[in-house]
Amino acid sequence: MFFSIRKQKYLCPASAACPKTITKLAEIKDVKANDQISQAVKYQAISKLDQNISQKDIAADFGISGMTVMRFAQELSTYLRPNHHFLPQNIAFDDFKAGNFSSSGMSIIVMDIATRRTLDIVRSRHNTYLRSYFLQYDRQARWAVQTVTVDLYSPYRSLIHEIFPQALIIADRFHVVTQAYRALNLVRTQTMKQAGQGSHNARALKHYWKLLTKDSTKLDFKTYRKSRNFRNMQLCEQDIVERLLNMSSALRQAYVYYQTLLQAVQQRDPRLLESLTRSAAGMPEPIKKTNRTLRKHLQEIKNSFQTTFSNGPVEGTNNKIKAIKKTAYGFRNFENFRLRLLIELKNSYVSLNFHSHIKKAAHSIQEQAA
């Protein structure tokens, strides 16, 4: 819908009190000077940004361009810049694939892990960039941080010690278990190659790989089914796993290591963890590599046993970001990308403040129209 507006022009002639001749156009409350789009349309358009809809579709609904939608959002987001005088006591951050916005292709999600609210999206995970980003916060805010939950990416450690000197580093338990999980799968594939392509052992290890990664305490030992890979014998899950482990001593060692680590993490048993990391002699090389990583971060893993914090909420947010990127078919501008994420992520402080501002503005427009 288009409106043609004719405005009254006022002329104030020169006088002794005001020596200049002044001309002025009458104002319209819903349309700013030199604008062609009403404030109501702007607020309606950007209010759709919290839904998983592409900018192109939003723009088509309101007869404007996709870039215009984000330009309106940027105009309203100036007051939503991070408060550099405050940081939560417990934070977590993790990287995610963001595209070509940084040389590594990875950006960072920063989250208040206690309330599970997203604080910000940082362009790059490089230490130099992260350092300059966090140094924007004043010293009192950074020293107030008590815990930082991260994965086992080593370069983060020096940064955390420098920027958050009072913080305790907590290793994410999911990433700890993933180290042994990947090592076990690597040993399994090595065993398959040794057995030869198309051999009975290779087929069985490929077909039943999920049973090897399953918690041994949850393996079914009551239900028996025909197993085609074992001549249609009636076997339960525990029987199948035992037959798989009999194929290779290296595979059995890797399996025991993985299951012991799983038990130590689930029971939060620091003694069992220490005992495990001291006994890697004679293990397959992938397990030795994993063990070296765990020993390097041993104290951080023990710290994780003392809290309920993990990067689970961050990983969940990462999945939401993947869905947003898929719908949008990518972004070319990082600031637009960051703003769209923070608006659409319901767990972000920006989303809460943004929609609160829109509601107030829309209500003000309705009152003016009335």
Q: Where are the domains of the chain?
A: 86-173+312-335, 174-305
- Backbone φ and ψ of 278, nearest 5°: -90, -5
Buried b / exposed e across 262-274, counting CB within 10 Å, b at 16+?
Answer: bbbbeeebbeebe
d(CA 339, CA 325): 13
Mind listing the pLDDT tens digit for each residue in 53-111?
888 888 888 888 888 888 877 776 665 677 889 999 999 999 998 888 888 889 999 99
Q: pLDDT confidence of 217, banded at 50, 70, 90?
A: very high
Buried b / exposed e across 64-73, counting CB within 10 Å, b at 16+?
Answer: bebebbbebb
Residue 369: both structure tokens together = 């129209």
Q: pLDDT confidence of 193, banded at 50, 70, 90?
A: very high
SS3 52: coil
CB 123 within 8 A of CB 131: no
d(CA 110, CA 87): 11
The answer on pLDDT for 28 being more than 70 is: no
Q: Which DSSP letter does residue 17 get?
A: S
Q: Which CATH superfamily is domain 86-173+312-335 in?
A: Ribonuclease H-like superfamily/Ribonuclease H (3.30.420.10)
SS3 329: coil
For residue 85, the surrounding DSSP H or E stretch is none
Q: Which of 229-243, 318-332, 338-352 has the highest mean pLDDT?
A: 229-243
| pTM as predicted | 0.82
Strands (E), 19-102: 22-25, 90-97
Nearest to 37 by CA among 1, 61, 10: 1
